[in-house]
Structure 1
């Protein structure tokens, strides 16, 4: 499972959305929904810091 897939699974569970919805929001290196995009940014920052 990639880092992006782990993020999508965790975000889907946190927001109670189907993971398929989060996957559909993918937009290149980010996401089309601003809240998902911001969450992805902070997820990556946390992973890099760890």
Structure 2
């Protein structure tokens, strides 16, 4: 598991999103959830493609 930081579009708080490795041997490509809720305001956010 790897931690990624994203900023909430509504309140600007930093959120930590956990990513899983895409393959057993791959440690450079991670799968992230497409949407996540902000821990501070509860707004639904979308994970950017890049």
**Superposed pair shares fold, TM > 0.5:** no
Bigger proportion of residues as strand: 2
* Greater relative contact order (CA < 8 Å, ≥ 6 in sequence): 2
Q: TM-score, normalised by structure 1?
A: 0.29
Bigger proportion of residues as helix: 1
> Which of the pair has more CA radius of gyration?
2
Q: TM-score, normalised by structure 2?
A: 0.29
